[in-house]
Amino acid sequence: MITLASSSPRRKELLLRLFKEVEIVHPNVDETILDGENARKMVLRLSRKKAESIKRDNVVLAADTTVEIDGMILGKPQNENDAFRMLKRLSGNWHTVHTGVCIKYGDKIINFVDSTRVKFYSLDDETISAYVKTGSPLDKAGAYGVQDDMGMILVERIDGDFFTVVGLPISRVWWSIKKMGFEC
């Protein structure tokens, strides 16, 4: 069994494609950005804190995802106006999605960050508004989900792992778990 320390339905769905038993535990971790902390260090720290907050004998997997553009971290939007602002900022530009992962199994810990560059099409206000009105952007870093019905029309190019953008670099997770000696 794998314990997923995350409330993300997307991560759960990816894990259930590969593992028969997945336990979901919602970690209670303060996700405040520390002063001077960059996006990579933040997701690395938060994924580790989430994994360490769950006490289990089986594999514990935690992840944290954020979007970075020009050194600015875009987490989950606070409301529809914030989501619109974020999407407007991403419009026509390259940005980087960072997903930090921490896997705990016995006394072994693997903690890493996977980063993928994404370029958005130039979006008009009408398209942004229509997507925001779906409500989907409100629970996602950077206010978009590349796998969403409308989210998939925002992205022009991806340079890296698609699943990192979804929120879990699943192939790297699989091989890391095998490396730890867990029978997948």
Tallying the residues shown for the chain, one arrives at 184
68 within 8 A of 39, measured Cβ to Cβ: yes
Q: How far apart are the C-alpha atoms of 59 and 89, rounded to whole Å?
A: 38
Closest by Cα among 5, 35, 14 to 174: 14
**Helix 9-18 / helix 170-179 crossing angle, nearest 10 deg:** 60
43 within 8 A of 66, measured Cβ to Cβ: yes
Q: Which residues are catalytic?
A: 64
24: which 2 tokens? 């979901």
Q: How far apart are the C-alpha atoms of 16 and 143, rounded to whole Å?
A: 25
